[in-house]
């Protein structure tokens, strides 16, 4: 039995840069869902401590070294980038293959997302470290602000191509608008 070849959701898709905004598939490493069971909060906190992380508050994420912890719902978070430690008090489920992660960066990144996401993306309302479950046009998505001009967008893996297409179309429209000013 030969080894099985692993492919990412958008395998072979080169990054796209338009109007100073770049879209690329991001490799974020393992994704593990941690769902705290009733009475399990203390045990989970203890288990996460060695990573320097704690369960994040609603609509936020936190990072420590290569590890990121992302709020995804009530009593639920995704641990990203590192293998999950042994955890008592929580249901732990591998989600690494369930998501496609797209990185969108550049000065106009928020303008591009404003075509698809019904959220207030102004830095004052959506600062770095904010993460929400919202809609990306017709898709469910988790949207993270990783920098003043950088976002990561998580969608169901099977919808990666639609997400890419829709973000790329928004980038094209934004870039075409910019050309009007000249």
Cα dihedral 152, 155, 159, 165 in deg (nearest 10): -30
| Nearer CB in complex with another protein: 52/107 | 107
Is the CB of 65 or the CB of 122 nearer to another protein? 122
* Footprint on this chain of another protein (rule: CB under 8 A): 1-8, 33, 35-38, 75-76, 90-99, 114-115, 117-122, 124-125, 137-139, 156-159, 161-163, 166, 169-170, 172-173, 175-177, 179-180
Nearest CB to another protein, comparing residues 64 and 98: 98
Which residue, 158, 38, 41, 39, is CA-closest to 97? 158
- What is the nearest approach in angstroms of another protein to the Cβ of residue 54? 19
**What would the two tokens of residue 137 be?**
């046009």
Give least dist CB 73 to another protein, A. Answer: 9
Neighbours of 3 (CB within 10 A): 5
- Alpha-helical (H) ranges within 22-159 are 41-48, 109-113
Q: Which is nearer to another protein, 14 or 125 (CB)?
A: 125
For 95, list phi and psi in degrees, rounded to 5. -120, 10
Distance in Å, CB of 114 to another protein, minimum: 5
The distance of closest approach from Cβ of residue 106 to another protein in the complex, given in angstroms and rounded to an integer, is: 17
Strands 99-105 and 90-94: unpaired
């Amino acid at each position: 039995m030969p080894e099985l070849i692993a492919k990412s959701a958008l395998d072979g898709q080169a990054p796209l840069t338009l109007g100073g905004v770049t879209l690329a598939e991001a490799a974020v490493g393992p994704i593990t869902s941690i769902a705290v069971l009733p009475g399990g909060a203390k045990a989970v906190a203890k288990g996460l401590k060695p990573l320097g992380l704690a369960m994040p508050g609603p609509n936020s994420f936190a990072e420590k070294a290569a590890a990121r912890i992302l709020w995804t719902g009530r009593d639920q978070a995704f641990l990203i980038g590192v293998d999950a430690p042994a955890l008592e008090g929580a249901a732990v489920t591998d989600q690494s293959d369930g998501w496609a992660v797209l990185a969108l960066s550049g000065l106009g990144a928020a303008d591009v997302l404003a075509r698809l996401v019904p959220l207030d993306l102004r830095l004052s309302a959506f600062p770095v470290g904010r993460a929400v479950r919202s809609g990306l046009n017709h898709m469910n998505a988790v949207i993270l602000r990783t920098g003043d001009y950088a976002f990561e967008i998580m969608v169901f893996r099977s919808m990666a191509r639609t997400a890419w297409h829709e973000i790329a179309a928004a980038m094209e429209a934004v870039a075409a608008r910019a050309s009007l000013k000249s």
